[in-house]
Structure 1
């Protein structure tokens, strides 16, 4: 599989060359494949957001370099031509609805394409396509985004990024503050974009169930360093290590751990609800619950 994102010994130091200098990410080397669904996990302050802000050059390395879709970014990279580059790397921040500002939903979604020089007709077409992708009724186009529900506002903000047709979509805790239904809708949208539009997804999340349910690849960060890369099954295979990283297990694995403590021979740790249910049915059928 081709590589979409490659980091080579990337370090980012905040307040460099001062007594307050601090490495937010430290000597990070990793690759993310095109078309993958990659989650980045780690406790608060581990460097996740700083890392992803390098992928569309919102931040530039203090040391090292990265290559994104063939574009090399290093400490000497200037802002010239980065605007065109950023069109291909969409970024959805936490609570993106706070960045809405236009008087109508349609104008807000059109803003991105128009900012990149697309004419009104094409920008409107892209905006309506993006509204359809995120499940927004076209009847909302002329409404103020501030009259919508929180979940709808979140989708307007995401549609504004998708209207630029990015090849890579970065989602920084995109479901924060949403109810379970809104959470499910946003995550299913990310899966659809990955599977049906071949979009490379990079997701920062504290929801371990989302890692299990959606990710093909997991990056674990701690103190600015990448400490593990692998499949969800590989990352969660050692509960003691997971807890040591100040992370949670997926809910099914957490429940299985409680069963083990109660003396139930659960066997290999089940990571999904279906796997847990199947394991319990088998144990009950065998009468092997002690």
Structure 2
């Protein structure tokens, strides 16, 4: 398996060596394959954001090591060479539009490449390509980003990350606060970047429907530890365990579970709308056959 990222027995302690020391990660080992779409889920405070901040070395392990695109990061790694490394790992934080600051859309998107020493002409070309990638019309280039809709502002923020042409893209709750249309557009963009541009996507989310619709690998965290990894079907196979982890089922499975609780013989829970529709059609057809 070609791995983009691996964690080897990583522990991260906030305020280490003080009376307030707190382990946010505890002996975490994990492999994220190259060109995969991985969802990281867990209740609030389970360690998801701390985990992903190690991938672009915003945080360094207190113990253990993280290997990303061949570079090893430990507690002893100096910051000297990390700037160039971070160019390959793009990170979109929750509500990224709050970080917009330039007077025009194009200048905001150009900021990242220019910060890494790219010429004005090349930065502008990278920004225009990124705008096209996220579906922003070129006519918006000279507008103020603050005159755009919420969904458009988020696209500008994401374009600013993509203009640096990262190999890995981390999305930390990328659809928070968006309406259903904006939500789907952002998630479809992530899928496009994964499928067409072969980008390794890491999604931190509370949206279980996004997990089943987009992710090929799911990582479940609890109290700073990884408690389960697998496909969405494997993760959601045991509803009791999911609820124990303070998580929700995908909406289709949640609906089907209510049918099960009322005595309907659903069998294996459907995880997507299409699976739910197929299951209900089968039950209706079976009921019709019984009536005959």
TM-score category of the 2 structures, normalised to the smaller one = over 0.9
Name the SS of the counterpart of 1:43 in structure 2.
coil
Alignment correspondent of 1:282:
282
Residues 30-69 of structure 1: per-residue CA shift (max 9 Å, x gap):
0000000000000000000000000000000000001000
CA distance in 2, matches of 1:121, 1:15: 44
Name the SS of the counterpart of 2:264 in structure 1.
coil
Alignment correspondent of 1:7:
7
CA distance in 2, matches of 1:94, 1:79: 25
How does 1:135-154 map onto structure 2 within 5 Å?
Answer: 135-154=135-154
Structure 1 residue 29 displacement after superposition: 0.2
Name the SS of the counterpart of 2:54 in structure 1.
helix
Alignment correspondent of 2:220:
220
Alignment correspondent of 2:92:
92
Q: Does 1:133 align with 2:133?
A: yes
Structure 1 residue 267 displacement after superposition: 1.1
Alignment correspondent of 1:32:
32
Structure 2 unaligned regions, length at least 5: none
Alignment correspondent of 1:273:
273
Residues 153-192 of structure 1: per-residue CA shift (max 9 Å, x gap):
1000000000000000000000000000000000000000
Kindly report the root-mean-square deviation, in angstroms, between the aligned alpha carbons of the 2 structures.
0.9
Name the SS of the counterpart of 1:255 in structure 2.
helix
Alignment correspondent of 2:83:
83
Alignment correspondent of 2:198:
198
Give the number of aligned pairs.
289
Structure 1 unaligned regions, length at least 5: none
Alignment correspondent of 2:114:
114
CA distance in 2, matches of 1:280, 1:108: 49
Structure 1 residue 81 displacement after superposition: 1.0
CA distance in 1, matches of 2:3, 2:117: 29
CA distance in 1, matches of 2:153, 2:141: 12
Name the SS of the counterpart of 1:94 in structure 2.
coil
Structure 1 residue 279 displacement after superposition: 0.7
Alignment correspondent of 1:260:
260
Normalised TM-score (structure 1): 0.99
Name the SS of the counterpart of 2:19 in structure 1.
coil
CA distance in 2, matches of 1:282, 1:51: 42
CA distance in 1, matches of 2:79, 2:17: 22
Name the SS of the counterpart of 1:55 in structure 2.
coil
Structure 1 runs of 4+ off > 4 angstroms?
none
CA distance in 2, matches of 1:270, 1:184: 21
Alignment correspondent of 1:46:
46
Residues 165-220 of structure 1: per-residue CA shift (max 9 Å, x gap):
00000000000000000000000000000000000000000000000000000000
Q: Does 1:105 align with 2:105?
A: yes
CA distance in 1, matches of 2:282, 2:141: 52
Normalised TM-score (structure 2): 0.98
Name the SS of the counterpart of 1:59 in structure 2.
coil
How does 1:220-239 map onto structure 2 within 5 Å?
Answer: 220-239=220-239
Alignment correspondent of 2:247:
247
CA distance in 2, matches of 1:211, 1:236: 10
Residues 254-283 of structure 1: per-residue CA shift (max 9 Å, x gap):
000000011100111111111111111111
